[in-house]
Structure 1
Amino acid sequence: MRRVVAEIGSAPLLIRGGTVADGTGATPAPADVLVRGGRIAAVEPPGVIPAGQFPTVDATGLVVAPGFIDVHSHADNAPLLDSDDTTKILQGVTTEVVGNCGFSLAPTRVDSAAEFASFTQRIFPAMEFTWSDWAEFTGVADARGYVTNCAPLVGHGTLRIAVSGMADRTPDAGELELMGRELERALEGGAFGMSSGLVYPPAVFSETAELVALARRLGPDGLYTTHMRGEGASLLSSIAEAVEIGTEGGCRVHISHLKSNGRAQWGRMPDALSRIAAAADAGLSITKDIYPYTAGSTMLTALLPPPFLADGDAAVLARLESAEQRRRLAAVLESGLPGWDSHLDAAGWDGILVSTTASHRYEGRTIAEIARTLDEPPLDAFVRVLREEELRASMVLFSMDERDVRTAFADTDTMVGSDGLPPGSGGKPHPRVFGTFPRVFAEYVRKEEVLPLGEAVRRVTSLPARVFRIPGRGLVRSGYVADLVAFDPATIDHECDYRDPVRTPTGISWVMQDGHLVVDHQSYLGPRRGRRLTPAS
């Protein structure tokens, strides 16, 4: 791979010899791209722009595309880290949508701040909360700087914790009004919409009417993104709920990481897509994203049934320490609960890989493997991990079918999100943290030919830019910000190893932000050149 040696900035620069995938979905074609002042000044057929007038970058053999947009990220904490989170920029991602699945790091309120801080440590590394409202948090993050551009959502779960903690109850009218006001403050402060995570506490205790009431605050151009109520047996009813929230709330809807979870549900993706298409035909603006893997990942506590998740960490740990409650847990995991899609049923103990824990014990082994090592039943091993790690553990779940992934990806208007867990915790996180976007082009363009190259580029550039209202990005077009990636379509890839996932992708030649070179030859150059964006009007 050639190294670009010149620093690129405000001076004009000509990118020559490349094949431009402009983000519209058109077949990539040879073109030269002139960058000036951080923006694309011209895109012309080869030779039209005189080469001798400008410094040049030779992109021969490379595809030049808009910087990729990750529509489902959990890197809200990345600006707060002392080290630079390079996991996305090395993939060619220049913009991330954060605050997904109902988790954002603001707003908080004094009377629930300790409960919120404790809960966040189930998924985020420990951090010092020096802010409370949305404006204070974004001010702190802005001051620290961003590696990638950041398009933040405000989390419904975060709003709920701020007002009513982790309680298993319906907010009263006054609490719902407070949630609505905090939502509006976040929107006024630049939030791109509201996300929900309806399998996680406390959102798992919410009713549809609560979400509709908040969705009405978003307005017709506002966006409600959702980790739905269920992705297994209740997949279709969960899509129906998302459609109801968008229809009754009068806003746009985006379904996060669409999947059909569990062997018993494999093959249902066409039905799911049909329900989404029917809602679109009826007038609802509704889209979805996926990740290009058959394994998911989340916090280990997501294996617990909703009644075990109420009232915060201390209450959850007390239940796990009670012999009577453990017997009850065993019975519920065996028989299930109405309307609850069990991750255990979807994956089984041998399909649940512990990926990251607070102490880094148990990482890289399945619950079944841990149980055999400890010579105890898998349920006991699972409870042991949660208790010893004080709930601070995440997992990878092997629960999906490749045919469903391909079907979803081939469908019109399917976007891509990494859904990687927050940076800074170490361990063995899902490989999607490091390789989602290279894998799309390696597996679903080059190897499986699910999509042509130009269309795949559209799915990760102009389509998410339009749906999420990302300003000035997503196309290689005159006037657009020069956030660009150049990759070799023959070698772009990422080795998918769940037990040894920390690997740099291959085939990414260079990445630019605002016309500045930030990645060259698989190396991050810095400094942090991203920025927090605000929605396009």
Structure 2
Amino acid sequence: MDTPHSPTARTCSPSSSSMPASMGDRRSRMTGTPWPATSGATTANSALRIGAIGWEEEPATDVAMANMRAMLREAMEEGAFGISTGLDYPPGAYASTDELAALTNEAARHGGFYHTHVRYPLGDRFLDPFREAIEIGRRGNGPVHLTHFYHHQTHPGGPEQLLALVDEARQAGHDVTFDSYPYEWASTRLLIQLPQWVQSGGPMALKERLADGATRDRLRAEMTARGAAYTGPAGWADLRLGAFTRPENLRWESGTLADVMRETGSDALDAICDLLLAENLGVAQVTSGPWSETLPHFVRHPVGMVGTDSTFLGEKPSPRTYGSFPRILGQFVRDEQLLSLEEAVRKMTSAPAARLGLHDRGLLRNGYAADLVILDPARVRSNATYDEPRRFPDGIEYVVVNGQLVVDSGRHTGALPGRALRRGQKPQ
């Protein structure tokens, strides 16, 4: 459906169809709320689709495209850093390559970039998702940043092939960068286990389908077609569940889907559907992600940056939530000597600041914001693990944010000096 242009930069949870405030309103709310860290935001293509089309799996008409471009333009004028996608997640996943290229062009015209969690099910599920991302930047004449770029153990080729895509694009004159995190565990919503068509129409339509026996039969047939690993508990032994809220389900917190299947006698499909319905679609999962043996290829690459990626759901998120940066400094730099301390720090500070176009952050320089981490290189290390992901690191003694001491001798001071940044914001 086509809808009138409505206010901008919106996000929506998987269990709600409501639309929060514009990018400007969100920035104002963040600025007025005490917060320990500095933050900035991109505009999600899912939010634009909800505003212009809704949750339906349908192509964007000319009217819808005009509405999305107008909403994105408004968001960029209000300080968004670019457009972002999570192309495993509806309704943003319903966008075509052409649609995303047009939106990338709009963002680029205002100094923004295309920041993407790629369409992993596309084509060969290996190189094709990243080829599409680079093509979107090429068609849209905008910079591209590939987020959580890594090599999975199930990929048919090696990490060199993935990195060659970046190198070849840059040699052809395209601005392509990426970030990686140094953990083999990924986290997201349990909904990702279901095909995207089942989410068309939004959360209410999804819940109706999950409760329908005929729809479950169709889903079960699709899951069975994916292979024997998807039919029995053994195939789900490393998929840990979290973010439960109902008392009767708290026993599953940090358990696996295999545990649920064994105790309830359900197959995987019924277990997933029953849990999602009981928890208003809000169940989280942690499962295997990057192949640890090939992670150094990405961390060492000249245009690679260090990042993290997590959902703040449940008591046991991915360990990357608490451990990504100290793991690089302790394991990759000090213990394994895969890169120098200086290069690791650059990948965490000045390189991301340059990608975002921050004029007064990322370097120690007169007139720049005083954002500092003071650590002991001999002691710094991550303590976050799969079983205990919320353990804080060792060796980080002091943290200064916007000139205020936030961590003193390893303890939080209570200071909340964070602020919301705008794209193109000049030093004061």
The two structures have a TM-score, normalised by structure 2, of 0.90
The answer to whether 1:433 aligns with 2:321 is yes
Distance 1:234 1:244 in 2: 16
What's the offset of the Cα at 1:168? 0.4
2:70 to 164, 171, 181: 181
Distance 1:187 1:499 in 2: 40
How many residues align? The count is: 412
Counterpart in the other structure of 2:377: 489
What's the offset of the Cα at 1:203? 1.4
Counterpart in the other structure of 2:85: 196
Cα shift readout 1:465-500 (whole Å, capped 9, x = no counterpart): 111112311112233222111101121122232233
What's the offset of the Cα at 1:119? 2.6
The answer to whether 1:248 aligns with 2:135 is no
CA distance 1:439–1:227, shift in 2 (3 Å): same
Counterpart in the other structure of 1:469: 357
Q: CA RMSD in A?
A: 2.5
Counterpart in the other structure of 1:37: none
Counterpart in the other structure of 2:276: 386
Secondary structure of the 1:107 match is coil
- Say which is worse superposed, 249-258 or 305-314, in terms of deviation: 305-314
Distance 2:215 2:138 in 1: 40
Counterpart in the other structure of 1:171: 60
CA distance 1:373–1:434, shift in 2 (3 Å): same
1:416 to 306, 312, 322: 306
What's the offset of the Cα at 1:237? 0.9
The two structures have a TM-score, normalised by structure 1, of 0.72
TM alignment of 1:93-242, pairs within 5 A: 107-108=9-10, 117=12, 119=14, 132-219=21-108, 221-230=111-120, 233-242=124-133
Query: Do the aligned partners of 2:185 and 2:289 also contact (CA within 8 Å) in 1?
Result: yes
Counterpart in the other structure of 1:403: 293
2:197 to 268, 289, 307: 307
Residue identity opposite 2:265 in structure 1:
D
What's the offset of the Cα at 1:266? 6.5
The answer to whether 1:375 aligns with 2:265 is yes
CA distance 1:344–1:139, shift in 2 (3 Å): farther
Distance 1:483 1:493 in 2: 20
Of structures 1 and 2, the one with the larger relative CO (CA 8 A, separation 6+) is 1
Distance 1:468 1:205 in 2: 27
Cα shift readout 1:45-90 (whole Å, capped 9, x = no counterpart): xxxxxxxxxxxxxxxxxxxxxxxxxxxxxxxxxxxxxxxxxxxxxx
Q: Which stretches in structure 2 are left out of the alignment for 5+ residues?
A: 1-6
1:502 to 376, 380, 390: 390
Distance 2:230 2:308 in 1: 20
Secondary structure of the 1:351 match is coil
What's the offset of the Cα at 1:267? 5.2
Distance 1:348 1:165 in 2: 35
What's the offset of the Cα at 1:380? 2.4
Cα shift readout 1:81-101 (whole Å, capped 9, x = no counterpart): xxxxxxxxxxxxxxxxxxxxx
What's the offset of the Cα at 1:197? 0.9
Query: Do the aligned partners of 2:185 and 2:386 also contact (CA within 8 Å) in 1?
Result: no
Distance 2:309 2:52 in 1: 27
Secondary structure of the 2:154 match is helix
What's the offset of the Cα at 1:118? 5.2
Cα shift readout 1:328-379 (whole Å, capped 9, x = no counterpart): 1121123259xxxx9999x941221113233362211111122122233233
What's the offset of the Cα at 1:252? 0.3
* Bigger share in helix: 2
Residue identity opposite 1:368 in structure 2:
A
Distance 1:450 1:266 in 2: 25
Distance 2:93 2:231 in 1: 17
